C-alpha cells in the first residue's frame, strides 16, 4: 500500500514551523463538521455496511469528528440513495457509502430510482473491491470455464444457473457470459446467495456466481468447485483459480464499495474526506480486514471514481436491456 501522511503541511508558513506542523493531529486543519453520518442505502450486514462501519470507526482519527452509520434500505438501495440525493444537507455532515449495483446498475434496472447517479452526487473515494467466483458442484463435468461453455453449446438450455435475485451481479455476469458466447443457460433466481449455493452443493443447480466471502468455505471444504474469477486480478483467497477473461474476454464484474456526497458539498470538504478515507485504507490493520472480507482496497479519488461510475453504467445498461431483465 502507498503510505499517506495525513498531516497537511503549510510550506508557506516557513521551515521554522515544520516541526510543529508535523506534530499536529491529523485533523487539526479539518473544516469537516464535528458530527457526520455515513448513509448506507442497504440493510445492515451486507458488504458495504461492514465496510462502512470499519471506515466510520477509524475516520475520527483523521477528521476529529464523531462518525455514525445509518442504514436506509429499500428498493435495492434506491430509497437511501434518493434521500441522500434529494434531502440530505449539503454541509458535509452526510455522506453515502454504497455499492456499484445500486449506483451503476439500478438506473438501468428500475423504471425510476428517484435519483440521477451522476448529476445528484459528488464522487469522493473508492473503499473496497469484493471479487466473485464462478462455482459448480464438484461432480459437474466441466473443470474449466471453457469446458462449461462447451457443455452449454452442446445442449442449449439444459444447464441452469442461480442468482441471488434479478439484477444482482450473479445474474448480470451470467447474462454477460451467455451474450458473449451465444449460449443458452436457464436462469433460476433465488432470494439471496445462500439458498442458491445450497442447491449447487446439493446438485439440483449447476452454476452460481458468488462473492468469494460467501462461497470460500465451501470451495476450501471441497463442497464446491471454483472454475474462474471474473476479475482483472487473481483473488488472493483463491490464488490458483484462473481468471474468467482467460476463457471469455471481457467477463469482468466486481462488487465495489465507494463513498459519494450529495451534489453541492464543497470540493474542499470532498478532498478532505478523500484524504481521510485514504488514511484509513493505509492503516496496517485494514489490509488484514480487507483480506478477511475477501476484498482489496479500492484506491480511487473523485475524478477516477466518477469515471468508473460512468463506465459501469455504460457497461451494464445493454446487458440489462437486451436480456429483458426487470425488477419492477
With helix as H, strand as E and coil as C, how does 10-57 read? CHHHCHHHHHHHHHCCCCCCCCCCCEEEEEECCCCCCHHHHHHHHHHH
Distance CA(130)–CA(132), nearest Å, equals 7
* Ordered alpha helix ranges (H), 87-228: 100, 106-109, 145-154, 169-181, 193-202, 212-220
Decide: residue 161, CB within 10 A, 0-12 exposed, 13-18 middle, 19+ buried: buried
Model pLDDT for residues 216-229, shown as the tens digit of each residue: 999 999 999 999 99
- First-to-last C-alpha distance (Å) of the chain: 42
Fold of 132-246: D-Maltodextrin-Binding Protein; domain 2 (3.40.190)
Paired sense of beta strands 121-130 and 295-297, if any: antiparallel
Residue 316 host element (H or E): helix 302-323
Average pLDDT (150-154) is: 98
Average pLDDT (58-87) is: 97
Average pLDDT (278-294) is: 93
Model pLDDT for residues 192-242, shown as the tens digit of each residue: 899 999 999 999 999 999 999 999 999 999 999 999 999 999 998 999 999
Model pLDDT for residues 156-198, shown as the tens digit of each residue: 999 999 999 889 999 999 999 999 999 999 999 998 899 999 9
Distance CA(326)–CA(166), nearest Å, equals 7
Residue 22 has a pLDDT of 39
11-129+255-323 matches 132-246 in fold: yes
Average pLDDT of the chain is: 91
Distance CA(301)–CA(120), nearest Å, equals 17
8-state DSSP, 284: H
- Domain residues of the chain, as ranges? 11-129+255-323, 132-246
Paired sense of beta strands 121-130 and 207-211, if any: unpaired
Residue 7 has a pLDDT of 36
Q: Is residue 328 very low, low, confident or very high in pLDDT (cuts 50, 70, 90)?
A: low
Cβ contact 249:171 at 8 Å: no
Q: Is residue 30 very low, low, confident or very high in pLDDT (cuts 50, 70, 90)?
A: confident
Residue 204 has a pLDDT of 97
Residue 271 host element (H or E): helix 267-281
Q: Measured at the alpha carbon of residue 233, what is the angle toward residues 150 and 176, in degrees to the nearest 5?
A: 40
pLDDT at residue 255 is higher than 50: yes
From the candidate CATH numbers 3.40.190.150, 3.60.20.10, 3.40.50.920, 3.40.50.300, the one assigned to the domain spanning 11-129+255-323 = 3.40.190.150
Residue 13 has a pLDDT of 37
Amino acid at each position: 500500500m502507498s503510505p499517506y501522511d495525513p498531516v497537511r503541511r503549510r510550506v508557506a508558513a516557513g521551515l521554522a514551523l515544520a516541526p510543529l506542523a508535523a506534530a499536529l493531529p491529523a485533523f487539526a486543519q479539518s473544516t469537516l463538521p464535528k458530527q457526520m453520518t455515513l448513509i448506507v442505502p442497504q440493510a445492515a450486514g451486507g458488504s458495504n455496511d461492514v465496510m462502512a462501519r470499519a471506515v466510520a470507526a477509524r475516520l475520527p482519527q483523521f477528521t476529529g469528528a464523531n462518525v455514525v452509520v445509518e442504514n436506509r434500505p429499500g428498493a435495492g438501495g434506491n430509497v437511501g440513495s434518493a434521500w441522500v440525493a434529494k434531502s440530505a444537507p449539503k454541509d458535509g455532515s452526510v455522506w453515502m457509502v454504497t455499492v456499484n449495483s445500486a449506483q451503476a446498475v439500478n438506473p438501468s434496472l428500475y423504471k425510476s430510482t428517484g435519483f440521477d447517479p451522476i448529476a445528484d452526487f459528488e464522487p469522493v473515494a473508492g473503499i473496497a473491491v469484493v471479487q466473485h467466483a464462478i462455482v459448480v458442484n464438484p461432480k459437474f463435468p466441466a473443470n474449466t470455464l471453457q469446458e462449461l461453455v462447451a457443455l452449454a453449446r452442446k445442449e442449449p438450455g439444459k444447464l441452469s444457473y442461480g442468482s441471488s435475485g434479478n439484477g444482482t451481479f450473479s445474474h448480470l455476469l451470467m447474462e454477460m457470459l451467455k451474450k458473449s458466447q451465444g449460449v443458452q443457460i436457464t436462469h433460476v433466481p433465488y432470494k439471496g446467495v445462500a439458498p442458491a449455493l445450497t442447491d449447487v452443493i446439493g446438485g439440483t443447480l449447476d452454476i452460481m456466481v458468488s462473492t468469494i466471502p460467501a462461497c470460500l468455505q465451501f470451495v476450501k471444504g471441497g463442497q464446491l468447485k471454483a472454475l474462474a474469477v471474473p476479475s482483472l486480478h487473481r483473488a488472493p483467497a483463491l490464488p490458483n483459480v484462473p481468471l474468467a477473461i482467460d476463457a471469455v474476454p471481457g467477463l469482468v464484474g466486481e462488487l465495489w464499495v465507494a463513498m459519494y456526497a450529495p451534489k453541492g458539498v464543497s470540493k474542499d470538504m470532498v478532498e478532505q474526506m478523500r484524504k481521510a478515507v485514504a488514511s484509513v485504507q493505509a492503516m496496517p490493520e485494514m489490509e488484514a480486514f480487507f483480506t478477511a472480507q475477501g476484498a482489496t482496497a479500492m484506491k480511487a479519488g473523485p475524478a477516477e471514481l466518477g469515471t468508473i461510475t460512468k463506465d459501469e453504467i455504460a457497461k451494464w445498461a445493454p446487458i440489462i436491456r437486451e436480456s429483458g431483465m426487470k425488477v419492477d
